[in-house]
Amino acid sequence: MVLPGTRIDLFGENRLRTLKTFLFIALCMPAATLVFDLVSGALIEPVEELTKTTGIWALRLLLVTLAITPIRKLTGWHKLIRFRRMLGVFSFTYMTLHFSIYLFLDRLLSGEEIFTDLTERPYIIAGFTCFMLCVPLALTSTDRMMRRLGGRHWQRLHRLVYPAAIAAALHFIWLVKADITEPIIYASILALLLGWRLRVFMIKSDRRSGTKRSNNGSGQGSTPVMGQSS
């Protein structure tokens, strides 16, 4: 029972922890369902279905991770940031599963076939590029690594997520042979998210050059502004 005058903090620490637990379980579900279907023999083309499901979840979660900041700004729910790392790490986990399925089950670790794919198939090159760009992001996703690198360097490094997402979208577009509606939908969502980032970046740099201009006018142009990125 809620006593009169009691303030309900909808997203207090306890509730956030519960939401995080639910999110963790939800993010495990695609993998758990795959394992269940595999064991129960429900997969008609197991390797193909394993590859596709892990690939699509890696991409979806990458896009959701990128959407966190715009949603935070639009809704004002800043605590959403607390879910971003988990989403990013799960995206990388699905990528790793996807790549491992390709290496071990699809190509049966045949060095020759993998080499041919990596040198001759643009969609494989794009997928691999995305994966490689995400490796340093996953390795530096802990609080300890964030502290070690320092906020600004960490942020710069984590901008690799944008080329990684573009490579992932290209991977999907290039691998589809007939109907490209689905990859185009994902690419459009990515374009919206990147467009939003670009707009924020342009507004910030406009403001920065405005500040520099007014500082120059008042004779303080050479004083560096603390915390401002170069």
Binding site for ligand HEM (CB under 6 A): 51-52, 55-56, 58-59, 62, 95, 98-99, 102, 106, 124, 127-128, 130-131, 168, 171-172, 175
Minimum CB distance to ligand HEM smaller for 144 or for 177: 177
Minimum CB distance to ligand HEM smaller for 143 or for 179: 179
In angstroms, give the least distance from the CB of 85 to ligand HEM.
17
Minimum CB distance to ligand HEM smaller for 5 or for 111: 111
In angstroms, give the least distance from the CB of 17 to ligand HEM.
28
In angstroms, give the least distance from the CB of 113 to ligand HEM.
11
In angstroms, give the least distance from the CB of 131 to ligand HEM.
4
- Tell me how far apart the alpha carbons of residues 118 and 124 are, in angstroms, rounded to a whole number: 6
In angstroms, give the least distance from the CB of 205 to ligand HEM.
29
Alpha helices in the chain (DSSP H): 13-39, 46-75, 81-100, 111-120, 122-139, 143-149, 151-157, 161-175, 181-217
Minimum CB distance to ligand HEM smaller for 122 or for 221: 122
- Tell me how far apart the alpha carbons of residues 24 and 180 are, in angstroms, rounded to a whole number: 31
- Please name the residue that has the structure tokens 């996807």: 98
Minimum CB distance to ligand HEM smaller for 83 or for 102: 102
- Tell me how far apart the alpha carbons of residues 201 and 19 are, in angstroms, rounded to a whole number: 31
Tell me the three state secondary structure of residue 166: helix
